[in-house]
Amino acid sequence: MHSETRTYRTGGEEAVLDLTDDASAFAADRGDGLLHVFVPHATAGIAIIETGAGSDDDLLAALADLLPADDRWRHRHGSRGHGRSHVMPAVVPPYATVPVLGGRLALGTWQSICLVDLNVDNDERTVRFSFLEG
């Protein structure tokens, strides 16, 4: 198994950050296997979605509808509604696994691997890329 971590800055606002290029570079020339992407944070997730056509903004809007940034959350520290960030990984899990064939990600035409971060109080995220040979 090959594994490495990379650090990303998501800024002070909710973000969907496309990791596909970094994931592709990590998997390149590794042959066949599985790429596992994991974010070891209690308030972030990994999604495979289309980006650049509004879907990333739609995901943030859907999460805002499902998990409003208000005072309903029992987990209360940080910015208003921070508790929702701790619930979000139950909806957008902190991992994704993608087949790799001949060193290339076997994603669909419009699929991208994205870091989803609703936590505006923490702008730095670590992502672990692991390759399991097949």
- With contact defined as beta carbons under 8 Å apart, do 14 and 115 qualify? no
Instruction: Dump pLDDT digits (tens) for 73-115.
Output: 787 777 777 788 889 899 999 999 999 999 999 999 999 999 9
Report d(CA 5, CA 73) in Å as an integer: 31
Q: Looking at residue 41, what is its pLDDT?
A: 93
Average pLDDT, the chain: 93
**Is the confidence at residue 46, as pLDDT, over 80?**
yes
Q: Looking at residue 115, what is its pLDDT?
A: 98
Report d(CA 131, CA 123) in Å as an integer: 26
Report d(CA 9, CA 15) in Å as an integer: 10
Domain 2-133 has CATH 3.40.50.300: no
Q: Looking at residue 117, what is its pLDDT?
A: 95
Report d(CA 96, CA 79) in Å as an integer: 28
- pTM reported for the whole predicted model: 0.93
Q: How confident is the model at residue 2 (pLDDT cuts 50, 70, 90)?
A: very high
- With contact defined as beta carbons under 8 Å apart, do 36 and 134 qualify? no
Report d(CA 34, CA 100) in Å as an integer: 5
Q: How confident is the model at residue 116 (pLDDT cuts 50, 70, 90)?
A: very high
Q: How confident is the model at residue 7 (pLDDT cuts 50, 70, 90)?
A: very high
Instruction: Dump pLDDT digits (tens) for 53-68.
Output: 899 999 999 999 998 9
